[in-house]
Amino acid sequence: MTHDQMANALLPAVVVAPIVVACLLLALGRRLDRPTIDVVAIATSAAVATADGVLLSAAGNHRLVAWLGGWRPQHGASVGIVFVGDQVGVGAALVAGVLMTCALAYSWRYFENIHVNFHALMLLFLAGLTGFSLSGDLFNMFVFFELMGVAAYALTAVKVEDPTAVHGALNFGVINSLGAYISLMGIGMLYAATGQLNLALLSRALTARGPDVLVVVGFVAVATGFLVKAAAVPFHFWLDDAHAVAPTPVCVLFSGIMVELGLYGVARLYWVAFSGTLEAGTIQRLFVVLGVVTAVVGSVMCLLQRHLKRLLAFSTIAHTGMFLIAVGSLNPVATAGTAVYVVGHAAVKSVLFLCAGVLLNRFGSVDEFTLQGKGRDARLTGIVFMLAGLGLAGMPPFAVGLGKVMAEEGVVRAGLWWGPVLFLLVAAATGGAVLRVGARVFLGIGRGPGAEEAGAMSGDEEKRELATGMTRLPVTMGIPLTALLAAGAIVGLLPGFGDQAALAAGRFAGRAGYVAAVLDGTTSYGASPAASAGWSVEGIVLCLASVGAAALVALLGLYGTALPRQILAVLRTARPALHMMRSVHSGHIGDYAAWLLFGVGGIIVLAMLPP
């Protein structure tokens, strides 16, 4: 099979296959027993992941281009939809496939009362994630964005008997849809300006047109929908609500890949369609400001939580902030670092969520204080949880650490000298919060809740996810847990992984190459500068520093109330600010809608200020 034939067959197949299997499951579902459904769904997802792997290795040599419906460009234009696979796009699809396989394996005995529908929704969700990663057409991206959304809203509220679940899902649905509609307004404006929907054609038309107000506002509008998915502050409110209430295996996909795909969408849009038009300095300022606000709000809120899943959700927001800064620095090494970081983050964050699910099913709570000391006999879960917490803080050899070091190097090269300091603080805060919970739950150490924690949302309301209780860790849960943790470490140790990521990021940011591959059929990457990125002594020291800082944060969280009175009095002065930040997260849909529009306004102002 030639290269071209493979791209034509396989790129759309990884999207269509899960859709068809979902349909077949729905049509035959009543006649199938539960293990069969589980096996079919896991096998489909694993097959998609395998195909993604094949595509990834092929995408290392050439860009993969598939014109759907056979509408290949004539005279440099086409009316069709194109799928494009480069290493970053296919890599994102692969992460989605692997996480979905693990999540489905983990949910082996989950939700027996809704039989086949849960699996069908998961497979449709996978189709949405994969389609969004591969599409090279703006409106087609919107379609898959919505598919992701619709499946995700339903999956969030699978536990309908839980009052918080339906509330969180509604907030999620309304805010995401609103973001998507603002995106669609932007698509309409760009269509009016250029008459194109294909990213490559759009790129050509925009470069010829130059950066006028219409182009800037169009970019911001389209990016808004993606930034809502990426949970940039102040578009992030849906995320902590949805993550806190969604079933654990679903959280794995939300935090591991869906949020990151929002960021991927913005980066793809900028690099392919707008990098020849918009002022780089303006874009850098926009994303760095957004990223810093997101990282700070996420970290502080993460430290304040006692609801474990909500804590992990805010940690994802904090990490999104770092990703925004790194991608927004527009430096290829920083982009490569983000890619590595996202892979590592997906692994360890998934492990943490799955551990939270194990605790929930065993003890009926995800509350830090309710669970204090309860996990002493859950050795394996405890060890895995603590290792993942260390990984989240950047412990070598986890890929998180490698990605963080690369991203730090990149942002410094882009002139953001303060980047590494902020990254260290965020890693310390989020990793420290996780370690604090781990120590309290699995070791039973630490003091009781202080005044601030007592007022936080408790994790006792959360409903169990298995029909029957469980006392020990089932194999179907243990395997995904350990496999993901091992993957997070092995990927960080793969020789040449950093180099490949740097190469891929350079290609991802190559506008001309993408346009030529889509419109002229020259799919080879051309010569790219040799890139080297990997572990260094300096990097390992930086990583260990952030792990140490995380341990300190954890200790402060456990024994902070034992500090001398004077220090506590100083700390107490921050309480009104913290209280305000907490009260902004009100769970009120009207507030969220107002913040959404406020945020769009803020971004537009940032984009329009003179450089």
Helix H or strand E encompassing 84: strand 81-85
Q: Does 217 bind another protein (CB under 8 A)?
A: yes
Q: Does 181 bind another protein (CB under 8 A)?
A: yes
For residue 381, count other CB atoms closer than 10 A to its CB: 24
Residue from 97, 168, 225, 488 binding another protein (CB under 8 A):
168
Give the footprint of another protein on residues 35-74 (CB under 8 A): 66-71
CB of 586 to another protein, least distance (A): 6
> Backbone dihedral region of 587: left (phi > 0), alpha (psi from -120 to 50 degrees) or beta?
left
Distances in Å between the alpha carbon of 482 and those of 41, 324, 384, 477, 594? 21, 29, 7, 9, 42
The CA distance from 560 to 171, in Å, is 34
Nearer to another protein, 486 or 574 (CB): 574
Residue from 49, 64, 158, 485 binding another protein (CB under 8 A):
158
Q: Does 489 bind another protein (CB under 8 A)?
A: no
Q: Residue 506 corresponds to which tokens in the numbers above?
A: 């350079």
Nearer to another protein, 162 or 367 (CB): 162
Q: Does 167 bind another protein (CB under 8 A)?
A: yes
Q: Does 460 bind another protein (CB under 8 A)?
A: no
Nearer to another protein, 141 or 504 (CB): 141
The CA distance from 252 to 243, in Å, is 9
Q: Does 24 bind another protein (CB under 8 A)?
A: yes
What is the size of the binding site for another protein (CB under 8 A)? Answer: 116
Q: Residue 545 corresponds to which tokens in the numbers above?
A: 């520093």
Residue from 344, 391, 431, 599 binding another protein (CB under 8 A):
599
Residue from 56, 94, 296, 457 binding another protein (CB under 8 A):
457
Residue from 39, 43, 79, 577 binding another protein (CB under 8 A):
79
Which DSSP string do the residues of 146-214 spell out, in sequence order? HHHHHHHHHHHTS-TTSHHHHHHHHHHHHHHHHHHHHHHHHHHHHHHHHS--BHHHHHHHHHHH---HH
Nearer to another protein, 149 or 262 (CB): 149
Which window, 48-56, 190-198, 253-261, 538-546, contacts another protein (CB under 8 A)? 190-198
The CA distance from 353 to 434, in Å, is 11
Q: Does 577 bind another protein (CB under 8 A)?
A: no
Residue from 6, 19, 383, 571 binding another protein (CB under 8 A):
19
CB of 271 to another protein, least distance (A): 22
Which window, 175-183, 286-294, 322-330, 550-558, contacts another protein (CB under 8 A)? 175-183
CB of 8 to another protein, least distance (A): 5
The three state secondary structure string of 516-547 is HHHHCCCCECCCCCCCCCCCCHHHHHHHHHHH
Helix H or strand E encompassing 85: strand 81-85
Give the footprint of another protein on residues 125-154 (CB under 8 A): 125, 127-128, 131, 139-140, 143-144, 146-147, 149-151, 153-154
Helix H or strand E encompassing 68: strand 64-68
Residue from 207, 370, 461, 463 binding another protein (CB under 8 A):
461
Query: Burial code of 190-208, b = ≥16 C-beta within 10 A, e = fewer?
Result: beebbebbbbbbbbbbbbe
Nearer to another protein, 158 or 351 (CB): 158
Paired strand residues for 74: 77
